């Protein structure tokens, strides 16, 4: 980083050496190293262009200008002699505000944010500039917005530490019990042996003997405390991290970037995420705009000419227009033909696009044009006009030069009516070469259509329909209009405009009034539709993650309109949503009222939905009063809703109730979304408003926070962590996301276009947002599953091993005698049982990765922490204690009276030790074989190899050879050979193994047969698929989709909400810059320019038990009511335990059934249905039709018991998907033949 030294010479310095008061030279495309006061620039008037993507996520250019008195200090000597003094505000995190004063040459100059270059910005389209360092290092605004680096630990880590403390306390208790037993035994029994077996010299009474016995048993029983557990856990996590790094399906070939696990301590928490906080720009979007469709004079263009063609043909503009942009893609040749034949409306349409903008043009060589647009929207529109023959070439403060159909034309630029967020439109007034004056206007259709001449009514209706179609496709729409202005009218208006422009008071209001005066009675030309390209797979990823009960919040520094459009594009927001609430209050009181009003509205709508569902859902189609679902937060008395009419009926909404409780908000049914602005969010994050905001936002399916600062992003994450106690994940790609990434439990960095600061601060990184789906649903779920199974087995085997010593203490006079050989105690955790459990912890999986992605509901047990918690821990401990009881008392009872074939008794210590140790190793080996769900070669080698190594090592340690070499070390000489040759010993081992394992097998078979989990159901369907038999009956895939669409009982068929996409990233003030000529330069550099969900009944019950206030229950919108179970014979329906009460989905599961196909696709409902259980009987019944599958007992040899299920119940258990036609493109299992029934 070149800095100016006292010798008036530039020298390179590292960022770390930059100090306040240094003068720094920046060159094009360099990052700003500190917060600088812009002194001078290579551009006229001290202007420079910056990109602030690292700060607010916006990639459009912004303009900064130096103070006029310093703008001429371009020479190094002048800069070296600069001796001004800056007095400014202290370091703070306000990115959009700076207040200071420059004192120089006995004068003072006010400094604002327009004079500052903040750290994290990138210099664009400016050859060089000089700046004075105001804040450096941690004092910069970017660093002030960065959160503290925290040491992240998983919930399993914290639980594990607690359990280890409990186990240590249990160890002390066992030591105390055995020590008390020793004292009693020594006093009552041991004293009788004093004459020939006296105490050792230090021991002189039974109390001291008990004291020594306590510490002896603490040492002997210390194996119950899992010291090696932490080492094993880290080894397993390291293996999981390598699996993430090696995953080829998370490798981006375009940027040659692989996924990277930058930490090894958080892998299992990837399987427990409930909230995802995502940046927008560069994370969800590519920030690339493309001209997609348009409507001109009532005719829509943009669809491919031959929609049946496998690949649409891209138009070649080169023969028609040598100045065409080669990177422009368009497929509808009818629009090009309309231009060629000279259609006047089409020509005027593209003429408007080539004139009404603030784009700057640079012509590097003849015909090589580079457009520098302040927003990507404008760049896309001007490029479209360029390709269709209306080429914007250059501009001066008073002219615009274009090439129209090969003919150069220069227009006189009379005025630019600039854009702002209130006007939502911009206009230009130009005089053509013939002298005619015309106003061209483009803007949001919601404001522009109101200013049209009444004669446009018919055309406006047609264009409005086109706008709705474009909006439904997620495109950013824009309306175009013009009007002719007479000379007299222009003179009059020009004078009023000049007066407003020079006004000292209320200048902005006067200018707005002048603009409003002339932007009336315009003629409609048409509309444009721009696609803001999402990253590949973003809508699908969000839909699948939503099915996994993961809530996604978008936190962006961009404008509200942009964020809302992206929300629709990526399917976070849909036109089927019940309502979208917009919170935009500027005071604490107004924000509180809007939040409460939104909650009241949710309750009212939820109650009305539930009431109408009970009546058969007939009224949903009539409740069209919802409109487009947008509800602006308004000041008022809090009355949530009044009468609303639709289709001649009136629905009365009661007054809002008092502030609802968390439980009431958790039972909200319906799909709601919340959009909140940055200034409103600042109030919502205040201490007394936190609960209001959290209760409202968490009842919504989607939340979008706009215009938020990096610090606010971190505060939102902390808020959810504090109030919901849920695992959070933050994902972003820029420096403005660093604080959010650090605050969340898990931080994910996207290696995108905004540098690598987010990646460096993250725990995991990859190149595309779509990889998040695989990271969570596959690697995260597997890691959680493996870790839970590992911990359960680890505690089990340790207690089974150690507790045998405890029971033996009651039979050896509490003398601290061990049961096993000392070498067995040493090798048990190191050799005999360490590798099998590591293999299970690293390689195990319940279902393959494809099934994990197909059935997102499999992710929910991790969110509810079902697989390892305190209850599961005590179950494992109980199983381990039960195993130790069997392993001790069965051999003890059998060998007490057993004899060898020679008549020699077997009731000796060494025989008992060998028998118990052998039975222990066999039992724990069989147990881990049962626990392992996915066998690899490594699993086989480790499990059976460990068992084989036990016998090999035992025979070696008990051999004569080692005894001769070390007679004092190996006391069990010959014990293994003599003991294991006795049939009664093997019968004893077999009996103990059976008593330990058979109850476990019986319990698991009954559980799978009577109350299967989701993973059991998936494995069963996978087993059926592997049979590869031809399905019986006819396929009803199409009928299923039809039923799904028929049963879509929504709040009316809501039309597409019209959303303007006009220059959302546009900044006010560029029109004034252009007309003033300050930004005109001789040379420039190129411009770098679904799905509703359900929880299964058992998960839903647990969800209400665990953090009832935390988990929002599933939405019931747009679903069929529960279908009764269709069963055959006496087989219990699978839906009783693992299905969901609710809708169905459009993609059926592949099943084999023993039921013959129904005649005409219908089966007799009365003969095939069974009364629902009590939990299902209370559910409302739908009046619409649904399709069900009757599955009789399937004759599969290796399947556990009979299976019977309704199609709806199995599909809901696996997917939680609704039967919606809109979801027909969602991933799901292949369809198979099935019977169909009408369910009433």
What residues have CB less than 8 Å from 823, skipping those under 6 apart?
953, 957
Strand partners, 299: 296
Three-class secondary structure of residue 1082 per DSSP: coil
988, 890 in Cβ contact below 8 A? yes
Which H/E stretch holds residue 277? strand 273-278
Alpha-carbon distances, residue 402 vs 349, 371, 437 (angstroms)? 14, 13, 17
- Specify whether the CB–CB gap between 736 and 56 falls below 8 A: yes
| Cα distance between residue 270 and residue 778, in whole Å | 9
Q: Which two tokens stand for residue 528?
A: 């444009």
And the tokens for 1192? 């009789």
- Please, what is the Cα angle at 775 between 769 and 781, to 5 degrees? 145
- CB neighbour burial string for 221-257, b if at least 16 within 10 angstroms, e if fewer: bebbbbeebeebbeebbebbbebbeebeebbbeeeeb
Q: Which of 136, 131, 132, 118 is nearest to 26 (CA)?
A: 131
- Residue 853: count other Cβ atoms within 10 Å of its Cβ: 17
Spatial distance between the Cα atoms of 1020 and 1026, rounded to a whole number of angstroms: 10
> What are the two backbone dihedrals, phi and then psi, of residue 648, each rounded to the nearest 5 degrees?
85, 0
Secondary structure element (H or E) that encloses residue 395, with its range: strand 390-396
Q: How many helices (H) and strands (E) does the chain have?
A: 42, 35
How far apart (Å, rounded) are the C-alpha atoms in residues 891 and 984?
10
Cα gap 1161→1006, rounded to integer Å: 35
Please, what is the Cα angle at 862 between 1118 and 791, to 5 degrees? 165
Using an 8 Å Cβ cutoff, are 285 and 534 in contact?
Answer: yes
Helix H, strand E, coil C: the string for 900-956 is CCCCCECCCHHHHHHHHHHHHHHHHHHHHHHHCCCCCHHHHHHHHHHHHHHHHHHHH
Structure tokens at 362: 């640079």
**Opening angle at CA 39, ends 35 and 42, nearest 5:** 110
CA distances for 540 relative to 602, 728, 771, 790, angstroms = 27, 21, 11, 33
Phi first, then psi, for residue 212 (nearest 5°) are -65, -35
Backbone angles phi, psi at 261, to 5 degrees: -90, 105
Name the maximum alpha-carbon separation found in the chain.
Answer: 133
Under DSSP, is residue 1005 helix (H, G, I), strand (E, B) or coil?
helix
Backbone Cα Rg of the chain: 37
- Quick check: is 908 catalytic? no
- Kind plus residue range of the DSSP H or E element containing 1098: helix 1097-1105
Catalytic residue among 22, 35, 247, 279: 279
What SS3 class is residue 170? helix
For residue 572, the SS3 value is coil
Residue showing tokens 């249990």:
170
How far is CA 333 from each of CA 351, 379, 432, 464, 658, rounded to the nearest angstrom? 19, 22, 29, 23, 60
Question: CA dist 875 to 793, 799, 870, 1103, Å?
Answer: 11, 12, 9, 21
The kind and range of the H/E element at 102 are strand 100-104
- Catalytic residue numbers? 279
């Amino acid at each position: 980083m070149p800095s100016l030294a006292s010798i008036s010479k530039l020298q390179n310095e590292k960022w770390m050496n930059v100090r306040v008061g240094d003068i720094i030279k920046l060159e094009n495309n360099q990052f700003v190293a500190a917060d600088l006061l812009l002194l001078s620039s290579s551009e006229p008037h001290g202007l420079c262009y910056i990109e602030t993507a690292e700060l607010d996520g916006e990639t459009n250019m912004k303009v900064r200008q130096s103070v006029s008195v310093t703008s001429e200090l371009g020479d190094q000597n002048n800069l070296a002699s600069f001796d001004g003094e800056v007095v400014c505000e202290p370091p703070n995190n306000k990115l959009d505000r700076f207040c200071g004063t420059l004192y120089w040459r006995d004068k003072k100059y006010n400094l604002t944010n327009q004079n500052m270059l903040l750290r994290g910005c990138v210099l664009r389209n400016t050859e060089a500039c000089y700046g004075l360092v105001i804040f450096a290092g941690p004092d910069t605004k970017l660093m002030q917005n960065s959160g503290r680096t925290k040491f992240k630990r998983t919930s399993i880590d914290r639980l594990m530490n607690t359990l280890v403390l409990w186990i240590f306390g249990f160890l002390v208790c066992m030591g105390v019990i055995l020590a008390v037993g020793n004292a009693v035994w020594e006093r009552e029994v041991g004293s009788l042996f004093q004459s020939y077996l006296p105490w050792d010299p230090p021991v002189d009474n039974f109390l001291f003997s008990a004291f020594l016995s306590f510490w002896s048993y603490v040492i002997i029983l210390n194996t119950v405390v899992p010291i090696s557990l932490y080492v094993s856990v880290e080894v397993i996590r390291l293996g999981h991290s390598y699996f993430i790094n090696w995953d080829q399906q998370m490798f981006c070939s375009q940027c040659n970037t692989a996924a990277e696990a930058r930490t090894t301590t958080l892998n299992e928490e990837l399987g427990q995420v409930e909230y995802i906080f995502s940046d927008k720009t560069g994370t969800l979007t590519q920030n690339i705009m493309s001209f997609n469709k348009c409507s001109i004079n009532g005719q829509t263009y943009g669809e491919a000419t031959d929609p049946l063609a496998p690949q649409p043909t891209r138009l070649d503009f080169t023969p028609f227009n040598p100045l065409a942009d080669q990177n422009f893609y368009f497929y509808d040749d009818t629009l090009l033909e309309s231009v060629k034949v000279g259609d006047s409306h089409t020509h005027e349409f593209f003429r408007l696009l080539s004139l009404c903008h603030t784009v700057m043009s640079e012509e590097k060589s003849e015909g090589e044009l580079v457009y520098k647009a302040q927003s990507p929207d404008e760049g896309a529109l001007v490029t479209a006009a360029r390709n269709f023959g209306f080429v914007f070439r250059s501009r001066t403060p008073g002219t615009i030069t274009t090439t129209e159909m090969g003919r150069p034309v220069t227009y006189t630029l009379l005025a630019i009516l600039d854009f702002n967020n209130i006007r939502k439109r911009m206009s230009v007034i130009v005089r053509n070469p013939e002298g005619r004056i015309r106003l061209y206007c483009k803007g949001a259709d919601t404001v522009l259509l109101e200013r049209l001449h009444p004669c446009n009514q018919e055309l406006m209706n047609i264009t409005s329909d086109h706008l709705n179609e474009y909006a439904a496709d997620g495109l950013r729409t824009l309306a175009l209009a013009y009007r002719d202005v007479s000379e007299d009218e222009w003179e009059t208006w020009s004078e009023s405009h000049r007066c407003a422009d020079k006004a000292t008071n209320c200048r902005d209001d006067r200018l707005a009034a002048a603009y409003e005066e002339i932007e009336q009675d315009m003629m409609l030309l048409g509309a444009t539709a721009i696609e803001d390209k999402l990253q590949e797979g973003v809508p699908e990823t969000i839909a699948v993650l939503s099915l996994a009960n993961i809530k996604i919040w978008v936190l962006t520094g961009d404008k509200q309109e942009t964020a809302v459009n992206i929300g629709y594009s990526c399917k976070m927001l849909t036109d089927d949503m019940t309502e979208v609430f917009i919170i935009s209050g500027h005071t604490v009181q107004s924000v509180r009222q809007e939040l409460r009003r939104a909650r009241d509205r949710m309750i009212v709508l939820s109650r009305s939905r539930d009431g109408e569902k009970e009546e058969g859902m007939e009224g949903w189609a009539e409740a069209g009063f919802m409109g487009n679902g947008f509800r602006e937060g308004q000041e008022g008395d809090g009355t949530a809703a009044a009468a609303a009419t639709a289709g001649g009926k009136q629905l009365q909404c009661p007054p809002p109730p008092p502030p609802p409780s968390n439980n009431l908000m958790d039972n909200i049914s319906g799909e709601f979304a919340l959009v909140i602005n940055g200034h409103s969010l600042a109030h919502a994050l205040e201490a007394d408003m936190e609960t209001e905001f959290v209760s409202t936002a968490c009842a919504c399916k989607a939340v979008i926070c706009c215009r938020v600062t990096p610090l606010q992003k971190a505060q939102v994450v902390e808020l959810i962590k504090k109030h919901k106690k849920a695992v959070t994940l933050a994902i972003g790609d820029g420096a403005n996301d660093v604080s959010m990434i650090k605050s969340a439990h898990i931080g994910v960095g996207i290696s995108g276009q905004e540098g690598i600061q987010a990646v460096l601060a993250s725990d995991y990184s990859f190149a595309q947002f779509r990889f998040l789906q695989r990271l969570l649903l596959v690697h995260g779920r597997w890691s959680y599953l493996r870790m839970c199974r590992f911990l359960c087995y680890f505690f089990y085997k340790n207690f089974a091993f150690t507790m045998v010593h405890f029971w033996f203490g009651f039979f050896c006079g509490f003398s601290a005698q061990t049961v096993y050989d000392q070498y067995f105690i040493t090798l048990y955790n190191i050799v005999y049982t360490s590798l099998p459990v590591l293999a299970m912890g690293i390689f195990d999986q319940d279902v393959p990765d494809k099934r994990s992605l197909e059935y997102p509901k499999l992710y929910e047990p991790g969110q509810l922490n079902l697989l390892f918690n305190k209850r599961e821990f005590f179950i494992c401990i109980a199983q381990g204690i039960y195993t130790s009881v069997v392993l001790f008392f069965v051999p003890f009872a059998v060998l007490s009276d057993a004899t060898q074939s020679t008549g020699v008794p077997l009731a000796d210590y060494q025989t008992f030790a060998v028998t118990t140790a052998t039975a222990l190793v066999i039992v724990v080996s069989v147990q881990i074989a049962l626990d392992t769900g996915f066998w690899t070669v490594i699993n086989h080698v480790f499990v059976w190899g460990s068992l084989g190594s036990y016998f090999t090592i035992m025979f070696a340690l008990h051999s004569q050879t080692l005894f001769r070499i070390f007679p004092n070390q190996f006391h069990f000489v010959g014990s293994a050979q003599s003991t294991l040759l006795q049939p009664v010993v093997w019968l004893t081992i077999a009996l103990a193994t059976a008593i330990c394992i058979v109850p476990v097998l019986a319990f698991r078979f009954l559980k799978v047969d009577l109350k299967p989990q989701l993973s059991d159901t998936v494995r069963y369907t996978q087993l059926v698929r592997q049979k590869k038999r031809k399905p019986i009956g006819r396929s009803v895939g199409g009928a299923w989709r039809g039923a799904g669409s028929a049963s879509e009982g929504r709040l009316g068929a809501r039309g597409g909400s019209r959303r303007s996409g006009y220059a959302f990233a546009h900044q006010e003030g560029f029109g004034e810059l252009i007309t003033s000529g300050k930004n005109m330069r001789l040379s420039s550099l190129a411009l770098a320019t679904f799905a509703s969900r359900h929880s299964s009944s058992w998960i839903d019950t647990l969800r209400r038990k665990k953090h009832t206030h935390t988990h929002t229950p599933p939405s019931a919108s747009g679903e069929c009511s529960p279908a009764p179970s269709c069963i055959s014979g006496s087989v219990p329906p699978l839906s009783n335990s693992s299905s969901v009460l609710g809708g169905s989905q459009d993609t059926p599961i592949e099943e084999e059934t023993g039921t013959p196909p129904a005649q005409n696709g219908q089966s007799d409902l009365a003969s095939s249905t069974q009364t629902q259980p009590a939990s299902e009987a209370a559910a409302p019944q739908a009046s619409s039709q649904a399709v069900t599958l009757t599955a009789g007992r399937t004759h599969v040899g290796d399947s556990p018991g009979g299976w019977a299920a309704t199609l709806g119940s199995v599909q809901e258990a696996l997917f939680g998907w609704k039967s919606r036609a809109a979801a027909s493109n969602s991933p799901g299992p292949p369809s198979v033949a099935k019977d169909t029934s009408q369910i009433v």
